[in-house]
């Protein structure tokens, strides 16, 4: 048996991460619960993605687990209370993906409001010489509500202010050091804004917080942008609102049950869909991958974490 700590890799890892990790650890890709039983006692650490987390059946199967290094900022799919109870440390790649995720929120907002995807299809189909296009929506002077005002929400606000858009935000508490207006009621924020951008954390507290009442408040001229978690939105209600044009459109980077998302989204022309790509740039994924590795190296060197959550 190897004397090096065993690391379970729940999600596929990039080649440079594998190369670095293999210098210090024994890697075991997760396949099936049955296969996991063979090497479970040797596993002292886990790498995983924010969307995958660590399912309870995996955590429970690892008696010697000490540390979880998350390639992302989401911990809603990790039982942090159980981790604390077992003294399992948890780290994320916080502060590495803020800028790219904020960029994606703006890209989705601009793309759906200016109807970029449908215009691209129109030109490629050779339709330009033969028929007119419907007008799109201006961004200037529009009101933007941001639900969730942590690092990412604030980075979004900074960007969209450059478009001369008015910003207000909903959050668990007001941020006194920001110039933007705090709105403590999400429905009131939805009624006020033209664009509602979701940047909240996932988990039970935010599950299905975007329901029929919120979409009705957003209204037929309103747009929904989600770069948070798919669980934040009641997708059946959203699909009906989009089909019936009770909201103007949606730009979505995250979904419930991704990557096997509801195929009803595919037929909607008033949506822009992304495959959870907000942080998917060469620069950010490289920084994230290195931080995942560095957290594990730090922990097994001196017991510390560079970016701890637990």
Closest CA to 278 of 227, 244, 235, 238: 227
Closest CA to 72 of 285, 305, 296, 299: 285
The residue behind tokens 């690391």 is: 7
| Percent residues over pLDDT 90 in the chain | 98
Inform me whether the pLDDT recorded for 1 exceeds 90. no
Q: How many CB atoms lie within 10 A of CB 276?
A: 21
N residues, the chain:
310
Catalytic site includes residue 276: yes
- pTM, entire model: 0.94
HSE-up of residue 70 (Cα within 13 Å, Cβ side)? 27
- The catalytically annotated residue of 20, 44, 276, 285 is 276
Give the DSSP letter of residue 176: T
pLDDT value at position 3?
Answer: 83
| Percent residues over pLDDT 70 in the chain | 99
What is the C-alpha to C-alpha distance for residues 146 and 168, in angstroms, rounded to an integer? 6
pLDDT value at position 2?
Answer: 66
**Helices in the chain by DSSP H: which ranges?**
15-22, 33-39, 56-60, 80-85, 98-113, 116-124, 151-161, 186-192, 212-218, 235-243, 282-302
Catalytic site includes residue 258: yes
Residues 233-242: pLDDT tens digits? 999 999 999 9
pLDDT value at position 265?
Answer: 98
Residues 41-92: pLDDT tens digits? 999 999 999 989 999 999 999 999 999 999 999 999 999 999 999 999 999 9
Q: How many CB atoms lie within 10 A of CB 223?
A: 24
What is the C-alpha to C-alpha distance for residues 295 and 83, in angstroms, rounded to an integer? 17
- The catalytically annotated residue of 66, 191, 240, 258 is 258
Catalytic site includes residue 114: no
What is the C-alpha to C-alpha distance for residues 8 and 39, in angstroms, rounded to an integer? 9
């Amino acid at each position: 048996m190897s004397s090096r700590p065993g690391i379970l890799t729940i999600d596929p890892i990039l080649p440079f991460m594998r190369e670095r990790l293999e210098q210090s650890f024994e890697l075991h890709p997760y396949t099936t619960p049955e296969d996991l039983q063979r090497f479970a006692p040797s596993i002292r650490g886990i790498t995983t993605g924010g969307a995958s987390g660590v399912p309870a059946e995996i955590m429970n199967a690892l008696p010697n687990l000490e540390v979880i290094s998350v390639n992302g900022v989401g911990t809603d799919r990790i039982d942090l209370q159980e981790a604390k109870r077992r003294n399992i440390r948890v780290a994320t790649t916080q502060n590495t993906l803020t800028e790219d995720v904020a960029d994606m929120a703006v890209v989705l907002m601009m793309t759906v409001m200016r109807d970029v995807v449908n215009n691209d299809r129109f030109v490629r189909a050779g339709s330009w010489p033969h028929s007119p296009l419907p007008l799109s929506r201006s961004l200037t002077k529009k009101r933007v509500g941001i639900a969730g005002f942590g690092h990412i929400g604030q980075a979004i606000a900074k960007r969209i202010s450059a478009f001369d858009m008015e910003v207000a935000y909903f959050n668990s508490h007001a941020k006194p050091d920001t110039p933007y207006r705090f709105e403590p009621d999400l429905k009131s924020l939805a009624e006020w804004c033209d664009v509602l951008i979701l940047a909240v954390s996932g988990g039970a507290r935010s599950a299905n917080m975007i329901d029929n009442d919120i979409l009705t408040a957003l209204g037929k001229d309103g747009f929904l942008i989600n770069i948070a978690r798919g669980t934040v939105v009641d997708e059946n209600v959203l699909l009906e609102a989009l089909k019936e044009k009770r909201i103007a459109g949606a730009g979505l980077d995250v979904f419930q049950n991704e990557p096997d998302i509801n195929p009803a989204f595919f037929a909607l022309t008033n949506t822009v869909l992304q495959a959870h790509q907000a942080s998917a740039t060469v620069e950010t994924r490289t920084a994230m991958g290195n931080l995942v590795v560095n957290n594990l190296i730090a922990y097994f060197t001196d017991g510390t974490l560079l970016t701890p959550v637990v």
